[in-house]
Amino acid sequence: MTEGPQEVYRIPQVFEAWRVTEDDLPNIARWCKGKVKGYSITFPRIRDKSKPLDSQERNSYAVCGDVIVKSSKGFTVLKGETFEREFRPATSRVGTAN
pLDDT digits (tens, 9 = 90+) for 15-74: 899 999 999 999 999 999 899 999 999 988 765 555 555 544 567 889 999 999 888 888
Question: Bigger pLDDT: 35 or 10?
Answer: 35
pLDDT given at position 15 = 86
The model's pTM: 0.66
Which helix (H) or strand (E) is 44 found in, with range? strand 40-44
Query: Cα–Cα distance between 27 and 29 in angstroms, integer?
Result: 5
Query: Cα–Cα distance between 77 and 60 in angstroms, integer?
Result: 7
